[in-house]
Amino acid sequence: MNAVNAVLNLPAQFGVYNPVRLVNPGMLTVLNYHRIEDPHAPGFHTLKINVSATPEEFALQMDYLKEYYHVIGCDTLVSFLRGEATLPSRAALITFDDGYYDNYSNAYPILAERELPAIIFLTTGYIGESKAFYWDYVSYCFYYTAKKSAHLPLIGDCSWDDEPSREQVLHRWIEAAKLVPDTQKKEYVNQISAILEVEVPEQAYEGLYLNWDQVRAMSRSGLIEFGAHTVTHPILTRVPIEQASFEICESKRRIEEETGKVVTALAYPNGGQADFSQPVMQAARDAGIEVAFSLLPGPTRYSTVRKNAFSVRRIFLSYYDTFPRFVAKLSGLARLLILFCLIDCLTHFGAVQNHCVWW
C-alpha cells in the first residue's frame, strides 16, 4: 500500500494527471463509495475496508470532482443510454453501495452543500433493521475476541498478535467466504462467534444502516437517487438464477414502493468479473433495470458504456487512498501500474481478489 501511494504521489507533484484528464474528455468516471466515516474512531468494530473516506477526505474529493469533472445523476446516464441525451465532457457519477447511515449523516450534507447528485444502491433487507451484514458481524467478533488463535472454517488454523495481523486474518476469512455458495456462507458465519468466544448483543448494529424515512428525505431533495443492490446481498452467481432474479426484482420493487420513483439501476454485490453473468444480466433486464454497475476498474469510454450498459465499470475508493492516489484512480493511470497493484494486494490484509478488481 505504501509503495503504491509513494509511486502515485510523485507524478501528482508534477501535474501529470491533469493532461491525461483533459485529453480524454469522452470518458465516464464512476466513483464507488461505501461508507464515509472515521475507521480509527474508538470502538469502531465494523469492517474498516468498507470505509471509503473520512468526512474530511470526502469533502476534499468532492471539491476536486466539482472543479475538474461534470457530475451527472444516474438519470442522465440512463437518458444517454436510451439515446435521449448526450453526456458532457468528463462526466462523473457518484455511487454508494449497501445503504449505511453515514451516507445520510456524513456524505449527504457534503453533497448537498456542493449541489452534487449521487445514487445510493440499497440492500433493502437491511434498511431500517438492526441486523448486520455478515462482514460487519464477523468484524465485531474479531474486534472483541480475547483469543489470539483459532481454527476457523474455510481457512484453518490462524493466529494473530496485534491489530494488523488480526485484520489480515479477518480479511482472509471474508475473501474465502465470498467464494462459497450463499447457504454455506451463512453456516460458516454462524460459527464464528462461538469459535472466537464473543457474544454479539442485539443492539450492536442499531442505527448502522439507513431507515426508510432517511431514504425518502434524500429522495425528495431531488439530489439523491436510489438503485437496487438486492435484498440480502448474495453474490448473484452463487445462488440459483431464480433467487438472483427475486433479489433484483424485490429490491427494485421495495425502493419504488417507499420512494414513489422508478428504479432503473442496479449494482451487483461484490461486483467482480465472476460475480455477474449473462443470465444475471438478463434477469436484471427482465426486471426493468436499464443500467447495471460492476466493480471492474474504470473509467470507461462513452461508446463502451453504451455498448456494455449492464457491466459499467466503477472506481473503488477506500480510506487508505491518499489524495494523489484518488486523483490517479480517477485519471485511469493507476490501472496501468499492475506490478504495484500486486504489491498492494499482497501487503494490504491479503485481500488479493477484490483489491485487484478495485483498481
Q: How confident is the model at residue 6 (pLDDT cuts 50, 70, 90)?
A: low
The mean-pLDDT minimum among 5-14, 175-184, 293-302, 334-343 falls in: 334-343
Q: How confident is the model at residue 84 (pLDDT cuts 50, 70, 90)?
A: very high
The mean-pLDDT minimum among 21-25, 117-121, 128-132, 209-213 falls in: 21-25
What is the rounded radius of gyration, in angstroms, for the C-alpha atoms of the chain?
20
Residues 108 and 221 in one domain: yes
CATH of the domain at 267: 3.20.20.370
Report pLDDT for 183.
83
User: Which residue, of 202, 229, 255, is where some domain finishes?
Assistant: 202
What is the total residue count of the chain?
A: 359
Take residue 308 and report the three cell numbers written for it.
456494455
User: Which residue, of 202, 233, 257, is where some domain finishes?
Assistant: 202
Sign of the dihedral through C-alpha 207, 210, 214, 218: positive
Residues 38 and 17 in one domain: yes
Residue 94: phi, psi to the nearest 5? -100, 125
Who's near 313: CB < 8 A, 6+ residues apart? Answer: 30, 293, 294, 296, 297, 298, 299, 300
Q: How far apart are CA 79 and CA 167, in angstroms?
A: 43
Q: How far apart are CA 227 and CA 322, in angstroms?
A: 29
Q: How far apart are CA 210 and CA 205, in angstroms?
A: 11
Residues 126 and 67 in one domain: yes
Report pLDDT for 330.
92
Residues 225 and 163 in one domain: no
Residues 106 and 65 in one domain: yes
Taking all residues of the chain, what is their mean pLDDT, rounded to a whole number? 89
What SS3 class is residue 136? helix
Report pLDDT for 346.
46
Residues 151 and 226 in one domain: no
Sign of the dihedral through C-alpha 96, 101, 107, 112: positive
Residues 144 and 269 in one domain: no
- Domain of residue 238 covers 2-130+208-358
Q: How many domains does the chain have?
A: 2
In sequence order, the β-bridge partners of residue 267 are 293
Residues 214 and 124 in one domain: yes
Residues 243 and 343 in one domain: yes
- Of residues 190 and 108, which shows the higher confidence score? 108
CA distances to 136, 161, 164, 178, 214 from 192, rounded to whole Å, are 12, 19, 19, 15, 32
**Are 264 and 288 spatial neighbours (Cβ–Cβ below 8 Å)?**
yes
Strands 27-33 and 300-301: antiparallel
Residues 171 and 224 in one domain: no
Query: For 75, what's the count of Cα atoms within 13 Å in the CB-facing half-sphere?
Result: 11
Residues 45 and 191 in one domain: no
**Are 167 and 48 spatial neighbours (Cβ–Cβ below 8 Å)?**
yes
Widest Cα–Cα separation across the chain: 59
CA distances to 36, 244, 313, 332 from 251, rounded to whole Å, are 23, 11, 21, 32
Calculate the CA 178 to chain-centre distance: 15
Residues 197 and 217 in one domain: no
Terminal CA-CA length for the chain: 12
User: Which residue, of 202, 218, 243, is where some domain finishes?
Assistant: 202
What SS3 class is residue 270? coil
For 161-198, the pLDDT digits (tens) are 999 999 999 999 999 999 988 888 889 999 999 999 99
DSSP string, 298-317: --EEHHHHHHTTTSB--EE-
